Chain A
Amino acid sequence: MRKAWFAPVLIVASIILQLTVLNGLRLPGGGVPDAVLVVVAALAVADGPLAGAIVGFAAGLCLDLAPPGSLLVGQYALVFCLAGFAAGRLSRAAGKSPLWSAVFMAIVVAAAEALSTALGLALEPAQVTTAEVREVLPATIGYDLILCPFVLYLVVVVGALLAEGLSAGAVAAGVHGGPAPAQRAQQRRRQRPHEPRLRHAAARSGDGWLSSGHEHYHRRQPAARTRGRLRPASGVAGSASGLRHPGSVSRTPPSLRLAGGRRRDGAIGNPVGRNTVGWAETPRWQPGRHPGMLAGASRQFRPRGSQPGGSATRQHSTFGVSASTAPGRPGRGRTPIRFGGRRGDGALGRAFGSASLAPSRRPPAAVPRLRPGTSRSALTIRSRPRPVPKVHFRTSSPPAARRPAAVPRFRRSSTFRSPGTAYGLVSGGVLGQGTFRTPRRRARVPRLRLATGRRASGPPGGGMLGGSGRSPLLGPRARIGKQPRFGYGRRSLLSFLVGRRVGGRWLARKRAGSRSRVWLISKRTGGAG
């Protein structure tokens, strides 16, 4: 982001320049350029409608109050506020094209000049007459338009330079390990065509021409999030990594933990008993949605609560691994639980063979731990002992850096923070798909939308931590490319005029048909932010 003082300083400087120098000029045609208006419009183009309206109001009020001032306080505030809003809005409608945003800015400036004159005519009929207006207004607008591109360029370039300096300093200080400024600039240049936004709010590393990165803020976020995710949830009992949460370890041993087999590790998977217990009835664990089905559990996968252990994920690792190396058969009744990675080779595979536990032995305390939230830990296990791929994802930066808008939603709906981990989880497959399908979708929409056109830069197949996990991922990934197109419908002039994202939703429905729900979610999250 540009430094906060940039806009106020620019406004004050332009006001003083206007009052001391420009107004005293005698230019052919009679008018003088209104530098303040042009600066307001340029800042609005760069910052968006909200900031534009605020900046315009402030600048107009200053111009009203600064001596000699206007006859009525507030008339410039009114006009400039409207102009700032309109410039920000229209520049968004202009989308990624600098040329169009400059054109829209010029239109706004001309309209604002006319509006200001009209306001003068209405409010100060003694001072402003139509004869004067006819004589002076065209020249004034002409000078404004001449000034427009230069001021826009100044605002954009200086803002970017300031931001560049800022982030460069941060990198030097090691605050975050982003790419070097030069590299980033190159990245930005390369990705310019994909950059839809001119507002600084959109500024991420690797952004378009107005980028004035929020890097500080955005980059640090995912790191913090990732760390938080790894902390308590990972390595609960049963984790292959042996990473245990001290608190849960003590409670886990009696409970065996079974789960649908993951493809690679094959740890799990198979039917475990017949009777159902409360947790097993939750729709999330229905086999149909279970990615772990791949592991050969097939339709048999019915976690039975009466059986010891419902899911492999709950198996205490040391216990489970040492229990047996022979694949067991699917548990029937009270028979030992059957484990067995069918296809896979995982460390956990074939473990837990004959660990048999009477249902009565299972502590009731284990039940809550069987909830999908807990089982997630087993997935984390997969990624935990291999920090490398995760680091890899993160350094590929775009996924991490581009998700700021979705932060609150992530927090609310799921704890998956990093796409890399999410993929790993999916592929791990222990989880019921239902556990995170919805959250992941939610999380995905903003992320993907921001990732437009950036796929190529990412690591190929990034995030496929768990190996297989293809089926849940592939569909979404195919959509990745499309979704932004829905999202940017808002930028269309039509939707601007209507005031809603008509075009976007219409497009979404048209292309994705039944997936309008996804779209609605993404709309709620305001993915464009």
Chain B
Amino acid sequence: MSQEGSMRRVTAIKNGTVIDHVPAGKALSVLKMLGVDGNMSNPVSLVMNVPSQKMGGKDIIKVEDRELTQHELDRLALVAPDASVAIIRAYTVAEKMEINLTEEVVNVARCTFSNCITTNPMEPLPHRLIVTKREPLELRCRYCGKFQEIDKLVDNLL
């Protein structure tokens, strides 16, 4: 199926945010990272595992009536660093945004090491993961120094 065809699996939205080129199977993690769940009233559509020339397979997410902020998008760098994001207004792309992987990922996820000091939820300092390598992504906890298992990090989102 063509790329255009895969986009048509869900209808065009009037206003909101479209996140394309999410790695196949990661859409649910992305929604979790953005705090999109059943408690919000905005309509959300997603397609998973659609063919993509660029990626082989990909997921696409459309969140209606909500423009995601740069800060919210930067959280996605952990699971979808190459996703493309468009802000839609009146059915047209009003703005294209990029996801930036900062040198330190602050208060996005808790360290995956079970004996790290930050596992105590009462400790108030921010959770800080330092980016030691970008491709493939490698993160190290600022406090305990342990390298993070990226798949497990998604379960530790804050």
Query: Real complex partners, A and B?
Result: no
Residues in chain A within 8 A of chain B (CB atoms)? none
Residues in chain B within 8 A of chain A (CB atoms)? none
